[in-house]
Amino acid sequence: MNNANSGLTTVNFSSNWLFLPPVVAILTIMLTRFFSSEFVVPVDPAIWGLVGLMFVALSILYGIFIKRNFARGFLPVQLVAQGILLCLLSLHTGALMFSWVGVIMAICGAVILVALFHQSYSNTDNQMTAIPRTAPPLELDNLPLPFAITDAKGNIISVSKSMLQLAQKGRNAVDGEKIDVLLPLDKETAHMGGKEWRILQTPIEDGALYFQLEEVHNVIVASPGNDTETNVIDPVTSLYNRPYAIKRIEEELYRIFRYKRCVSAALLRVNFLEGEAADHDSKREDDIFNAYCRFIGSSTRETDVVCLAAPREILVVMPETQLDGAQDVVSKLLDFTAHLREEIREFNDPMEVTEKTIFFNSFSGILDFDRLMEKLDETQA
């Protein structure tokens, strides 16, 4: 039988409706009448009106609790409602022994109600904050990045789908196993999926280790017919090309967000001030700038990401580097080699380098390349 096509209406009646505060109040009135005496205390009509309004409001609240099936709220509402009613009735009928009983009932009921509402809001907040905690593992699992995480003993505790695909292994076959079932730790590179990969290893909290594979690319010197955008390394500056660098930088940004790590970044802006010569040699400027780029590329770590952010701007991203360490690196990059210093001295247009350095961690809110550049632009040189 299809209930949707039935003409009958079902009414779900709860027995709790039989215990609304006005119904239970009959017992309260009978109790105070039974113990009445001639020691009656007059009660101002305004107080009767106020108590009446409170009693009606509590009755409505009781009905709301019934509709929402909030059974824990039935008792405290009854305590408050019957307590304030008992206070006045005990004075009005002379049953003075119940006046303090009514006060205690109302206070206890109010305290329990406050505690229940506070607990309800706390549970809601916990549920809301629990959502972001469960979301990152799903996002991390789908990240197209070959990586694995081990505990301090080298046992695999997490591995990406990309890594499993390269190793041609199932997740059940590697969970809890040693990392050497995936990677040859006695070598710096691994051949997987028909490609050569560089094995990067970084310690994280509690002695755990983060392993990541980085594809090894052969640098191809660009010829006039080649598309230099497809080369990972710019042959002129020896720096990463911009598309590849952005990909690497955003992988690092996600990693520090996921694993609560830190990164420093520096932006070096090169300006050529016009000298006394009448002719402005732009080609010579390009030669000196490219030589400076090659100097920076050879003076930074393999794990650093260095690229051109603009025609005369060099971006250096330094993972796992505090601000003091990053400033030391920048000061060395500003100390030109003797050969480069001689080239600049012989050039008619003096070369000036200004730098901006920032440090940020997982709480800084920098999650993509554009936001990183905005932060650097906001920094005072």
In tens, the pLDDT along 179-228 reads 888 888 777 788 887 788 888 888 887 788 888 887 775 444 444 444 44
Is 142-216 in CATH node 3.30.450.20? yes
Residue boundaries of the structural domains of the chain: 12-134, 142-216, 218-381
Rounded Cα–Cα distance for residues 38 and 189 (Å): 100
Residue 197, Ramachandran bin (φ over 0: left; ψ between -120 and 50: alpha; else beta): beta
Give the domain 218-381 fold.
Alpha-Beta Plaits (3.30.70)
Does the model's pTM come out above 0.75?
A: no
Show the tokens assigned to 192: 């997987």
Which candidate, 254, 271, 219, places its Cα nearest to that of 240? 219
Q: Which residue would you say has higher pLDDT here, 58 or 14?
A: 58
Rounded CA gap, 173 and 80, in Å?
Answer: 62
DSSP code string of 233-296: B-TTT-SB-HHHHHHHHHHHHHHHHHHT-EEEEEEEEEEE---S-SS--HHHHHHHHHHHHHHH
216 or 78: which leads in pLDDT:
78
**Token pair recorded at residue 72:** 């824990």
DSSP string, 184-248: -TTSSEEEETTEEEEEEEEE-GGG-EEEEEEE--------TTS-GGG-SB-TTT-SB-HHHHHHH
Q: What is the pLDDT of residues 24-75, one digit of tens each?
A: 888 888 888 888 888 888 888 888 888 888 888 888 888 888 877 777 888 8
- The 10 Å Cβ neighbour count of residue 161 is 14
